Amino acid sequence: MQVWIKDFQSKYPGIQVTYSAVGSGAGVNNFLQGAYDIGATDVPPPSNLYQQLTQKYGEILTIPDVVGAVDIIYNIPGFTGTLNLTADVLAKIYLGQIQYWDDPAIKALNPNFNFPHQKIIAVHRSDGSGTTFVFTYWLYISSQSWRSSGVGYGFTVNWPVDQLGNGLGGKGSDGVTAYVKQNPYSIGYVEAQYAIANNLTAAAVLNPSTGEYVKPSQASIETAVQNANLTQLPSSLTKDLSQYLSVFLNVKAHNAYPIVTFSWLVVKVNYSDESKAEAIYLFLKYMVTTGQTELPTGYLPLPSNIQQLVLENLKLISYNNMPVYTMVS
């Protein structure tokens, strides 16, 4: 977002854009409260939140702006190679059912390393987070242990591992990253870009649809995107899109990383302030066109058909019910 804002303002110096990296929960809530013009989130708003948004603003747009992934990062002194993990092992770590690195379930997935009898420090987000939502939802659909635990999924959850004293909550992906770097024998989940930027090793995760352990990479994320059923998305992005969270999860394709997601933005459709309506339209149009070529490593551009879908839906943005795109194009 910071890269986009800098480039956009060089092209439109008369428009000022500010960004706060506060986590998806706060981002959408601040949009709901009227503090933000755009709410950013790693998941489409859940149905109950979507209803609150439409009750306040009437029509809203929920638009994808980039493709990302959730990496599982770890800090195991002396470990070389690639750590293999499954949704069920990760679920049991965060449920507090697997507490030590030399647990038989972990050793069975990684027979070539002599794990020490060290407690696992499970790091998670402390703030309301779309990354948490994606991670816990993926655990919910992929692990019977997680489903039966009753923890569920969401921007925040009650982490059972915290009650055992083995959990740590970090604010933002940067907070989780810092805790994993600082604490030997820790594990955490972050956006892929944070793992890349901080040179952290990411685990290979079992894709339950294919039975393969897949490391997150530009290629494996792209494979998931290319083989996902994107025809599921409706032609109108003014609907409740919460059911489309799983479109890139556990995609059945060779070398498809299983925890891939769109990042999303929520905006009002109708505005009473003409200059704000035009600024928001221009910024969003920039994001899904030029902005898709200005992405940091770890993010992938939207598929071309999704770009076209978003551009078509941006034409709905209006000032006093007059389409803005006719005023600025």
pLDDT tens-digit readout, 45-82: 888 889 999 999 899 999 999 998 999 999 999 998 89
Residues 75 and 103 in one domain: yes
Residues 96 and 41 in one domain: no
Residues 210 and 102 in one domain: yes
- Nearest C-alpha neighbor of 72 from the set 97, 91, 99, 98: 91
Residues 138 and 30 in one domain: no
Full domain range(s) for residue 34: 2-67+233-242+261-328
CA distance 178 to 147: 29
Is residue 103 a part of any domain in this protein? yes
pLDDT at 120 over 90: yes
Lowest mean pLDDT among 9-18, 137-146, 320-329: 320-329
Number of domains in the chain: 2
Residues 163 and 201 in one domain: yes
Residues 214 and 271 in one domain: no
pLDDT tens-digit readout, 9-44: 999 999 999 888 766 667 777 787 878 888 988 888
Q: What pTM was estimated for this model as a whole?
A: 0.88
Distances (CA, A) of 164 to 96, 197, 254: 7, 31, 38
Is residue 297 a part of any domain in this protein? yes
CA distance 154 to 141: 13
Residues 78 and 38 in one domain: no
Helix, strand or coil, per DSSP, at residue 284? helix
Q: Are 90 and 139 in contact (CB under 8 A)?
A: yes
Residues 62 and 116 in one domain: no
CA distance 38 to 277: 11
Is residue 212 a part of any domain in this protein? yes
Residues 112 and 191 in one domain: yes
- Nearest C-alpha neighbor of 39 from the set 128, 134, 156: 128
Confidence of residue 308 (pLDDT cuts 50, 70, 90): very high
Residues 214 and 280 in one domain: no
Q: Could you say which of 190, 221, 252 is where a domain stops?
A: 221
Phi, psi for residue 44 in degrees, rounded to 5: -60, 145
Q: Are 234 and 44 in contact (CB under 8 A)?
A: no
Residues 25 and 74 in one domain: no
Is residue 111 a part of any domain in this protein? yes
- Expressed in angstroms, the distance from the first to the final Cα of the chain is 24
CATH number of residue 182's parent domain: 3.40.190.10
